[in-house]
Each structure stands twice: as structure tokens, then as C-alpha cells.
Chain A
């Protein structure tokens, strides 16, 4: 049964990473008895293994909770979970657009962090009512009063009566529910009589039902049998089922009406047909204007993904196909590399997205992969006026025909205790950053704004930042646009043969330093072979760095294992297996670790 509109509350939980978002969500589920205690596993909303391991929510989920408040009324609370990483900012913004309010969790010891602010601003952009909650009061280092004051100072949110809770122990969770009911507005301006407009904030592929489209109905209503129409793509489907997401199962409903959050299934084949941010209407009674804010998400980071064993190419293709069913932001197309054989050029939202996909391919599909150095999309303006968008160094044009190049630039904010300002500025300077602003958010915490080229932050920026600030800094970025840049392409030659998979595009100021490092790393990670191997790094035809891998001198089982011939034989077989796993470039064998080492140059 649909609740009265006055009794619906649609909200998200926003927080900096590790401030306890998933744990609080679990406690809310438990408190509203949406889930039997015996079904409680840690962090129920994050159902991918990877999410649990990394402690982050990768895809948004939603769940309907029933709560009987102290005023005696029965409320329907729709909790829309949001991903917690900058790579997924667009998805976060769509989830927030489906809500009237947001619960902002702040760690009682750490206080305001980068994503606390970033997410708060995002929520304010969507006119959400923000309910601050101070979490982790059970920690010895907790100082809820200081943190409450900080939230008031920095964000300007009234925080004195914010619930002080421990999601971990369950302390004071009810206060959060009461706050949601009292502070977050009901979706009262929704109108059932208008044409349907439902915002897609997530979609998920299910083997049996096809795509499950998660929507917030803004206007109108929808039921099984209606013809739904996606306003961005024009695609139409016959609705098979609508209903609500409960904590452990889906609950079919007669219809979804305005103000509600629920799902639609319509035998949709891929999530690409029901993209996050699109508006659902019906063919029978169509709306004229879609809801604002839709955009097709474009991958920002690209890399080649190759099966370690060429025989796995088909399996890799199938795995990517399956992952894409559930991830409209993942793109892939076949590519061939002289060095790596057949594989795919894949596009990702960011490096985390890349790592997640790579891990899922390896874990869930049991594939052994070689990935090339990630690249951003460069715009290369040729002398004849054409503009190439290059995400693969292999396609980099002959420099003679290049007029100028552009690269994507980000607006980045780094939050940290002020003692790390020097270290942070050094790092940003090394990464070609342009200092924009620095403000003191509290007497001892700063917000440093920089413009940083995207290609300087996609490899390891966050890791280095964390290590140089002992983990205290947090970081957030958004794409600002393209700017002119002086780019060159570096080629790697082993024994005189170019290794296309190791080429990459880089700012000319960094070319020499990087080239030297690559040469050193390759020397370190390519085992000595039966002959001497020159390692050269070149721009165009000009070699700018060189190392030599000496010929192997010794590889012998001189030790006597008595009559254990099997052991000797196994050693040889293992050796041969090891060789099979290597990549052959002309006569040179390169282990996969060498690729990884070049990738992670700055460690």
C-alpha cells in the first residue's frame, strides 16, 4: 500500500569515506525491522564482495523502510544509498536529485573532510534538507562537541541538536529516524494527475527480469502494462512489474505514484537503455519536458585490457559484455596491439572505476589480464584544422602534422591539517598544478584549491597524497575542461623493437624524468635473458633514455636432489610455464610485473 504523501520521506546518506555510511544504513534497516536480525550481515546495502572489501559503495541502491514514529504515524522512508567516490559523482548527483533530504554523517573524531564538504555542496545544489549526524561517538578519540562546532563553522549547518550516535553499537539510532521524519520535507508538490515523469537514479541488470530500473516518481503514476518511454533515447518498453525495494526482496505493487521511490521492470536488455539520469514517461500520456540534469556519462580514463593468455579473448569479451549490462559508464571496443595481441580499449569514469572493473574481471570471471598504462582523452589539433580525440597513444599522429594539443584539466580541492600545506603544495607543483586558492576551514585545517591536469592524477595521485600527509588529507575533483598543453608521445623499444603497449602521452616537461624511470624499472623487472637487451625510450626517433639488461649468466640446477628427478623436471616445467606467461616482443620476453611496474612508476 502506498502511504499518504505527507508520510513519505525520500533521503540519502552522505558522508566522507569511512565515516560510517553503510553501517548507519544497516542500523536503520535493523531499527525499522526491515530486515530480520538473523539476515543481518555486515553492511547489507553493499552487496558486491568488492564493495565490502573496499568499504565503499560502488553502485547506488535503494530500500524502503517502514517506521512508526513517536507521533504515532506510520512513515515510509526511502533510503537511497549513494556511491562514495569522485569517480561516480554523476551517479551521486542523480541519487540526490531523487530525494528531498540527506543525512550527513560526520565522524566524531575526524570531523569535516573533503567529501563531507563536496557531498554537502552537492546536496545543497539539489535543495536538499540536510540532517547532520555525528557518528562514532563510541571511539576513544571522539569529540562530538568540537565536531558539531566545526560543522556549524565550516558548513553553516545548525548542529547543536544533531543526533550523536554510534552506528557501530546502535546507540541513539532512533534519534536519526525521528530527525528524518521531523526535518525532511514530504514530497508534497508531487502530482499524480500530471503525465508521468520518473527519474532513473540507478539501474541494475538481473538475469531473470532484465534491467531493474530504480526510479523516483516525480509526477504521475505508472503500473504494469503501461508503455514506458525513455525520454533521452526514445526507447519504449511494456512495463512488466512495478514495486518497492525492501531490504531483502522486491515487493510488487499495483502502481507507483508521484513522490514514491520504486522499481520498474520491462524486459529491458541492457542498462544502456535505462541510463541513470534519464526520465521515464509513458507513451499513453507522455510528458513534454524531461526532468533536468540528464547527461550521458563519458569515460574519462582509458586503457587497453588484454587477456594474459590469448585463448581467453572470447571469455574477456563475454565478461565485458556482462559487466556492461550493469554499468553503462563502462565502454569497450576491440583493439589489437603488436605486443599484446587481441584485447579491448576500455573506458572508465576514473582510476577507481578502472581498478574495480579489472578486479571484477579477474575475480568473478577468473581472467588473467594485462592492462596498459591508463590514458585520458587528449584533443590533438592538426595543422589542417581537424581535431582528433586520442585516448590511445598508438593513434597519436605524426608530430609534424600537429598544430597544438589540449588536455583535460580538473578543479581539485584538498583538505588537510595545515601542517601538511607545504607537502601538498610540493606534490601539486610536481604534478603541474596551478594554485588557485587556500582557505582556512578551521584554525588548523585548510582547503587548498588547485587546477591539476587529469593525467597527473589518474595514476597514483591520491596514494602519494595520502602517504605524504600520513593519511590526513582528503581529495576531491571535478573536470573543468580542456586546456592547451605541450604534449609528446614516449615510445619504448626493447632490443630495437617498439612495444606499443608501453607507449604513452606525457607533458614534455616530464618526458625526460619519466623516460629515465621507465628505463630503470624495465631493467629491474625484465629478467636477464640469453642475450643482452637494450632498453630505449624515445620521442619520435630520438632516444632520450637508455639502459641495458645484461645477458643471463647462470640458470642451472647445480644442486643435487639425489634421485628426486621429478623435482628437477617440475622445476623445468614451471620455468616453461613462467615463460608462457610472459609477453614476447620480438625475441624479448617481458613478464607482466614489468608492465605493472611501469604503471606504478612513483612507488
Chain B
């Protein structure tokens, strides 16, 4: 049986960033230790039910590092014992919320990958995003993680944030390259309803569509010229350092998400825990979210990868060929330089990535 991915949501932050709509809160209501206990309990009861093995473990948030190295280590050790986790174990960290010895502790437990929410290497930009750590603090984090034996580090970079320019992005890119990390995730700011940014968009000096697109292209060019592969719309890695856990999403593979707002895909069903920490603590079952893994979903997800949609894999999965209609349309986009069509696959070009929503919906829906 294929191994699944395990996701643990840690819904705590010291403060809410003005653009973020992920489920997070301050820890006033429930202590970190209590929450950790709930997670452990949930993992046990899931494993009783599912009896599966996992090969990736991912701590997302919120700010997972907030609950402390000891708690992270507890969860990691239990996950290994229960699910036999033997591969990539990632913890998202906010550089400003890391205690002394954190990396030592989690590394010993088995954590082998760190995701740093840097967002920008320009201090003024980062502060506007609600991030307090300065550039030196980030460098220090990277150093400490490495000293603890974790060299697989990924940095988050945001594009299209207030006051950002191509010049300032150059600084961030240089920082990424100089830091020597093997993986970069680059997300374009999206104004999510209910956030401060959404409600105050006109007050923010946001780069326009063209500039943001230029930033994306610039970043991609720079990173690929320096040994990175642009392997997914938002992800860049040195060979062998692709994010294994996230790849499960794009490959339409199974994963179990634990914690409020965490999503799962198991046995063809999608389900999720509501954004309600009390409900999770009470041990309430997650809510159904319908069937998953159909052809449309697979196409949508696979096309996010540079490798694209491989005809033979599609056939293997669904016992039928990719509809000719889709390939025809892809050829139309190929003429505009947005896709690549070969005998074995269809895939986006860099410019195509930028328009992927429009193109995917054109491809999928008649």
C-alpha cells in the first residue's frame, strides 16, 4: 500500500499578519501542551481506524515553532511510532519565534527540513507584512538549523507585496542565493476576504498585475540560472530537494491532516476539520468535503508541476486516454507560448504558469 502524507496544523501565532487568512489564534484559550496532547490523541485514533504508513510529515500553521521544540519532538516521535514516518519531516518556522536550542531538539527527534517564513529579505517590506524578524535574525536561524544538522531549508518569498519593486526583489533574490538554501517557495500576494489587506487594498501601494508578473518571471529566471529548477508554479528546488510532502498534493496522492482547518484526502474522500479549535479538542469528526481525485482534479493539480500532465500516468490512473479535446486546446495555447505539447505530455511554460487559472479552466471545462 502506498504511504500517505501526514499534516499537522498548529493554529497559533503571536500576532496576525495583515494578509493572512489561515486559521490561527493566540494561545490564550488553550496551552501549547494541551494542544499537543490533542494532536497525539487524534493521531492515535486515526491510526486505529486507518492502519496506514506515512512517509512525509509536515507541520504547518499558524506558527508551528511557537509550540516549542519539545512538543514538536513529542509529535514527531509519536508519528514515527504510529505511522512509521521515514521520510521528509518539515516544520514551518517564523524566524522571530524560535527558542534557544529549538533546532537541536527537533532535529534529534527526526525533523529534517525547515521552512522559514521569510517573505522578503528587505526589512521594511517584511515589517509591512507583519513580520518582525530582521535580516540578521533570518541568517542566524539558517545557521542554527544547519548547525543542528538540518541543511534542507526552504525560504518563503512573497511577490506583489506593498512597496515592492523589481530592485527590492533583486535584493531578496540575492539573499536567497547567497544563503545557499536548496529550496525557495514564491507566492504572489492574494488579497483574501476578511484580511486587513483586503479591506484596505486601496491604501496599500501594491504593485500592479504587470509588475507582479515581471517579478515572477525575474525571480524564476534568476533562480533557474543559479541551479534551481522551477518544478512547480510556486516552487524552486536544487535537484533532489523538491518538497516531498507538497508533491503529494500535486500528484493527487493521499494525506491526512490533523488540527482545525486541516484537510485530508483518504480513500477517494476529501474531508476537513472545521476552523474551530474547540470542536477539534472535543474530538469531533471532520466534515466531509465530497469525492476527490477525479480526472479534472488530477489535471488541475498535475499541471501545476513543470513536468506537466503525463499521458501514460493519466492512462494508468483512469484506464483511459486524456481527451483529445484537451490536447487540442493545449496546442492552441502552445502557439501563444503558454504551453508545451509533446508526444507524451502537456505542460505549462513559465508564461503559462502565470495564466494557469484561465488556461486550466479552459482545458477542463467544455
Interface residues of A, Cβ cutoff 8 Å to B: 528, 530-531, 550, 552-560, 562-566, 568-569, 571-573, 575-576, 579
In the assembled complex, which residues on chain A have CB atoms less than 8 Å from the CB atom of B68?
none
Q: Determine which of B212, B249, B358 lies in contact with A575 in the assembled complex, contact meaning CB atoms within 8 Å.
A: B358
Task: Tell me the complex Cα distance, A531–B335, Å.
Answer: 12
Interface CB pairs A-B, < 8 A, 8: A553-B355, A555-B354, A558-B216, A562-B263, A565-B265, A566-B270, A569-B296, A576-B365
CB <8 Å contact, A565 and B185: no
In the assembled complex, which residues on chain B have CB atoms less than 8 Å from the CB atom of A571?
357
CB <8 Å contact, B187 and A565: no
In the assembled complex, which residues on chain A have CB atoms less than 8 Å from the CB atom of B272?
564
CB <8 Å contact, B356 and A566: no
Check B7 for interface membership: any CB of A closer than 8 A: yes
Check B186 for interface membership: any CB of A closer than 8 A: yes
Check B234 for interface membership: any CB of A closer than 8 A: yes
In the assembled complex, which residues on chain A have CB atoms less than 8 Å from the CB atom of B233?
556-558
Task: Tell me the complex Cα distance, A145–B107, Å.
Answer: 89
Q: Determine which of B7, B185, B290 lies in contact with A562 in the assembled complex, contact meaning CB atoms within 8 Å.
A: B7
Q: Determine which of B7, B249, B300, B358 lies in contact with A569 in the assembled complex, contact meaning CB atoms within 8 Å.
A: B300
Task: Tell me the complex Cα distance, A602–B240, Å.
Answer: 60
Check B361 for interface membership: any CB of A closer than 8 A: yes
Q: Determine which of A553, A554, A558, A572 lies in contact with B360 in the assembled complex, contact meaning CB atoms within 8 Å.
A: A572
Q: Which residue of B lies closest to A580 (CB)?
A: B365
Task: Tell me the complex Cα distance, A52–B69, Å.
Answer: 65
In the assembled complex, which residues on chain B have CB atoms less than 8 Å from the CB atom of A579?
361
CB <8 Å contact, B187 and A558: yes
Known: A550-B210, A563-B264, A565-B263. 12 other contacts (CB 8 A): A528-B209, A553-B212, A555-B354, A558-B216, A559-B187, A559-B234, A560-B187, A565-B249, A569-B296, A573-B361, A576-B361, A576-B365
Q: Which positions 233-273 of chain B face chain A at CB distance < 8 Å?
A: 233-234, 246, 249, 255, 257, 262-265, 270, 272
Interface residues of B, Cβ cutoff 8 Å to A: 7, 60, 159, 185-188, 190, 209-210, 212-213, 216, 233-234, 246, 249, 255, 257, 262-265, 270, 272, 289-290, 292, 296-297, 300-301, 336, 353-358, 360-361, 364-365
Q: Which residue of A lies closest to B217 (CB)?
A: A553
CB <8 Å contact, B355 and A556: yes
CB <8 Å contact, B301 and A565: yes
**What are the nearest 9 A-B pairs in CB distance?**
A553-B213, A563-B263, A558-B188, A554-B213, A555-B357, A564-B263, A558-B234, A572-B361, A576-B365
CB <8 Å contact, A556 and B354: yes
Q: Which residue of A lies closest to B356 (CB)?
A: A556
In the assembled complex, which residues on chain A have CB atoms less than 8 Å from the CB atom of B296?
569
In the assembled complex, which residues on chain A have CB atoms less than 8 Å from the CB atom of B188?
554, 556, 558-559
CB <8 Å contact, A562 and B257: yes
Question: Nearest Cβ in chain B — how far from A586, in angstroms?
Answer: 16
Known: A560-B185, A560-B187, A562-B262. A568 touches B355 (CB 8 A): no
Question: Nearest Cβ in chain B — how far from A547, in angstroms?
Answer: 16
In the assembled complex, which residues on chain A have CB atoms less than 8 Å from the CB atom of B356?
555-557
Question: Nearest Cβ in chain A — how far from B305, in angstroms?
Answer: 14
In the assembled complex, which residues on chain B have CB atoms less than 8 Å from the CB atom of A569?
296-297, 300
Question: Nearest Cβ in chain B — how far from A430, in angstroms?
Answer: 30
Task: Tell me the complex Cα distance, A553–B364, Å.
Answer: 20
CB <8 Å contact, B255 and A563: yes
In the assembled complex, which residues on chain A have CB atoms less than 8 Å from the CB atom of B357?
555-557, 571-572, 575
Question: Nearest Cβ in chain A — how far from B281, in angstroms?
Answer: 21
Question: Nearest Cβ in chain A — how far from B169, in angstroms?
Answer: 15
Task: Tell me the complex Cα distance, A14–B255, Å.
Answer: 73
Task: Tell me the complex Cα distance, A568–B302, Å.
Answer: 13
In the assembled complex, which residues on chain B have CB atoms less than 8 Å from the CB atom of A565?
249, 263, 265, 270, 292, 297, 301
CB <8 Å contact, A553 and B361: no
CB <8 Å contact, A568 and B300: yes
Task: Tell me the complex Cα distance, A96–B262, Å.
Answer: 70
CB <8 Å contact, A562 and B60: yes
CB <8 Å contact, B358 and A555: yes
Question: Nearest Cβ in chain A — how far from B334, in angstroms?
Answer: 13
Which of A528, A554, A562 has the largest number of chain B CB atoms within 10 A?
A554
Task: Tell me the complex Cα distance, A159–B265, Å.
Answer: 81
Q: Which residue of A lies closest to B5 (CB)?
A: A563
CB <8 Å contact, B209 and A554: yes
Question: Nearest Cβ in chain A — how far from B125, in angstroms?
Answer: 17
Task: Tell me the complex Cα distance, A528–B357, Å.
Answer: 14
Q: Determine which of A531, A558, A572 lies in contact with B364 in the assembled complex, contact meaning CB atoms within 8 Å.
A: A572
Task: Tell me the complex Cα distance, A559–B197, Å.
Answer: 15
Question: Nearest Cβ in chain B — how far from A13, in angstroms?
Answer: 47
CB <8 Å contact, B190 and A563: no
CB <8 Å contact, B249 and A563: yes
In the assembled complex, which residues on chain A have CB atoms less than 8 Å from the CB atom of B186?
558
In the assembled complex, which residues on chain B have CB atoms less than 8 Å from the CB atom of A555?
354-358
Question: Nearest Cβ in chain B — how far from A381, in angstroms?
Answer: 50
CB <8 Å contact, A554 and B262: no
Question: Nearest Cβ in chain A — how far from B250, in angstroms?
Answer: 10
CB <8 Å contact, B209 and A530: no
Known: A530-B355, A555-B356. A563 touches B265 (CB 8 A): yes
Question: Nearest Cβ in chain A — how far from B129, in angstroms?
Answer: 14
CB <8 Å contact, A554 and B190: no
Q: Which residue of B lies closest to A553 (CB)?
A: B213
Task: Tell me the complex Cα distance, A555–B213, Å.
Answer: 9
Q: Which residue of A lies closest to B293 (CB)?
A: A565
Task: Tell me the complex Cα distance, A560–B60, Å.
Answer: 11
CB <8 Å contact, B257 and A552: no
Question: Nearest Cβ in chain B — how far from A337, in angstroms?
Answer: 25
In the assembled complex, which residues on chain A have CB atoms less than 8 Å from the CB atom of B297?
565, 569
